[in-house]
Amino acid sequence: MKDIVLITGGGRGIGAATARLAASRGYDVVINFKSNAEAAVQVVRDIEKAGSRGLAVQGDMAKEEDVARMFAAVDTFGPLTHLVYNSGVTGKNSRFEAVSTQTLRDNVDINLMGAFFCARAAIPRLSTKHGKRGGSMVFLSSVQSRLGAPGEYVWYAATKSGVDGLVTGLSKELAGEGIRVNAVAPGPIDTEIHEPGRLQRIAPQLPTGRVGTPDEVAAAILFLISDAASYTSGTYLTVSGAR
């Protein structure tokens, strides 16, 4: 039986690239999407073309009931072995005093509470303490968790710092239960999360002179869930072109 990886936010960007790469490396893949069903269906087609099984499950990771429904669908698909929490939002760029309360709540609910909900649901499905065979979790952090994103989205950086804390604590709490917990911290990546023109503006300021690609982040994620990373837990793999 193939390992099964669940990727939230798997219909586009980094999540979709991770799903396709996982399928090409022999994993069966469940992706979650919030609203773009057409994109998710195409990712599942690509997974199946690679010779793996694929499933798309709609759900808002900010809603506890949607997370529960998603994991129930995974249980029907097969025994979970890996979780990749990739869901995230930033909101409109601004100074902190100008940010709306709704943007603050969206960032906390999706970037942080969603990660909490998914980690809590994944543990009994992975842990040897619960009679399972172990596995891994990878959470998408950001270089902004240490840079702070001043003038753009400090609130987003703060939620990603919370993700870092989650990874540190869970990696220690679950180390004796066959579960590895890590984070990937991308720098500027060519996805739809950025406001129009932002990537073009900041690319010349980066040490590499370019932004990264979703495939480059996906490769880091696949390393962390693979057996090649069997002694790697509690780490933050930065994929930022030296930023």
| pLDDT, position 56 | 98
- Measured between alpha carbons, how far is 131 from 149 in angstroms, rounded to an integer? 42
Mean pLDDT per 10-residue segment, the chain (243 residues)? 96 97 98 97 98 98 98 98 97 97 98 98 98 98 97 97 98 98 95 81 90 97 98 97 86
Residue 156 a catalytic site member: yes
| pLDDT, position 197 | 83
Q: Write down all domains in the chain, each with its CATH number in brackets.
A: 4-239 (3.40.50.720)
| pLDDT, position 194 | 75
Pair 204, 4: CB distance under 8 Å: no
- Helices 154-173, 114-126: crossing angle, 10 deg rounding: 20
Q: Tokens representing 233?
A: 């837990």
Closest CA to 240 of 201, 208, 196: 208
User: What are phi and psi for residue 231, nearest 5 degrees?
Assistant: -110, 20
| pLDDT, position 228 | 98
Q: Which of 153, 156, 231, 236 is catalytic?
A: 156
Closest CA to 221 of 20, 71, 1: 20
Q: Which residues pair with 212 in a beta bridge?
A: 189
| pLDDT, position 155 | 98
Dihedral (CA of 73, 89, 124, 10) sign: positive
| pLDDT, position 43 | 98
